[in-house]
Structure formats: structure tokens, C-alpha cells
Amino acid sequence: MSGHSKWATTKHKKAVIDAKRGKMFAKLIKNIEVAARTGGGDPAGNPTLYDAIQKAKKSSVPNDNIDRAVKRGSGQEAGGAEYQSITYEGYGPSGVAVMVECLTDNRNRAASEVRVAMTRNGGTMADPGSVAYLFTRKGVVIVPASGLTEDDVLMAVLDAGAEEVNDLGESFEVISEPTDLVKVRTALQDAGIDYDSAEASFVPSTNVELDADTAPKVFRLVEALEDLDDVQTVYANFDVSDEVMAAVG
């Protein structure tokens, strides 16, 4: 998982400052709106909303945009769309398993765009359930290293239900059961440790090791899918070594 996570976290940092920032903002805002509609507009009583707001703030989304999204989602302000959550499954180059989570107000558009992005970038769609069994839902918290050691993070989260802490270089990845996500995040806060994001994610049970020829093809597929307006998150069961990462830039 480490190579994939390193690639994903590095790419996220770049996304915050590159030309696609407006698109990323829109996805974070949509996430807040749906969380508020599902669990209410009070972050104190809605952990999913709290984490969605924190992620948006970490990505420099303006507070006014966040506040309006909460109001739209909770019905305090008009204009909220009825988004549906849909997951599509497929395979990428070298048999990499891909899960695509969408939030959309138009199922037909989302399905069509995901299918086109898949086929144009060496992927194929798969039947529901044919890929999902390769992933497990887990709570994932990303903690910036900033002077911390793996032991520092581990000691803070051990009694909160954390299962493992992975060193990703510039950050640490804390894995837990989704039901323990709030406890893990709270334990970090209580220990005075900052975190970049806390969310329920799909973690692969097995990984496909990519070489320097295949890695760019898989990266292109994942980025093409992530570039779609209806796509919130893309999960894939690949790993890349530091050597391959360096070779492909």
C-alpha cells in the first residue's frame, strides 16, 4: 500500500496548488453538502460532516463556501442538489482493480463518463461485486510527519483502536476500523498532533506491483477518472516502489 499512498498524497499536495484547484474545491463542497443532508448540519453531532469540513479547510476552501454548503445540505438555504452515491468497478492495465466512488445528480451521465474514461485509458468496466471483494472499508487518517516519529503517532492512537501506522515518508497513515475513526482522530487531537484528513476509505487486501512501463498507464487512468466532475474518490490496488516512482517522475 505504501507506494500507492505516497503517490496519492504527493499528488494531492500538487492538486492544491495547480490549475485544477477549482474542480477539487467543488468536490469537497459537494461532500460537505451530502454529509450535512445525511447527518444534519451540526459538525459536533455529525462526525462525517466534521471530517469533510476539516478536509476542505486543509485544502484552503474558503469558509464562506463551506458555510453555504452546510446550509444547503441541511436545508437552511435553497439550491442543494439531490446527489446519489454510486460506486463503479473495473480493471486497469496489468489487471489493477479499480473502484470509483461518485456523487452525482445524474446517474446516466456519471456511468457514461466513467465508462469512457476507463476505455480510453486502457481499462474495462466490471460487474458489481467482481472487484469490491478485493477491498475492505477502513478508517484512514493521514498525519503530516513534521518532526514526528512513527512511535509518536502509534502511542497516541494505540488505545483508540488503531490497527497499524504506515510511514509514507512525508506523512503517516493510520488505519483503523471505520467505527473507530472518530476515536482515532480525537486521540490525535488530544495528543496535540495535527492531521491532514480522516475518512472512511477502501483499502486493498492485495496489491499489484507496477513496473516503470505500467505505472504511467495506471496513473493516467486514475487521473482521468478523478478529473470527472461526478467522481469523488478512486481506489486501486496497485503498489509502486520508490525506484519506479523516481523513474517515472
pLDDT at 170: 85
pLDDT at 1: 44
pLDDT at 242: 82
Q: Outline which parts of the chain fall under CATH 1.10.10.200.
A: 2-74
pLDDT at 2: 47
Q: Which residues of 122-145 are buried (b: 16+ CB within 10 A; e: fewer)?
A: bbebbeeeebbebbeebbbbbbbe
Check if the beta carbon of residue 60 is closer than 8 Å to that of residue 26: no
Cell numbers for 44: 459536533
Tell me, yes or no, if the pTM score tops 0.85.
Answer: no
pLDDT at 5: 62
Check if the beta carbon of residue 220 is closer than 8 Å to that of residue 169: no
Going across the sheet that includes 197-204, the strands are: 162-167, 171-176, 135-144, 197-204
Fold that domain 2-74 belongs to in CATH: Arc Repressor Mutant, subunit A (1.10.10)
**Spelled out in words, what is the top-level CATH class assigned to the domain 84-133+206-248?**
alpha beta
Rounded-to-integer distance, Cα 24 and Cα 28, Å: 6
- Residue segments in the chain with a per-residue pLDDT below the cut of 50: 1-2, 16
Q: Outline which parts of the chain fall under CATH 3.30.70.980.
A: 84-133+206-248, 134-204
Cell numbers for 102: 461518485
Fold that domain 134-204 belongs to in CATH: Alpha-Beta Plaits (3.30.70)
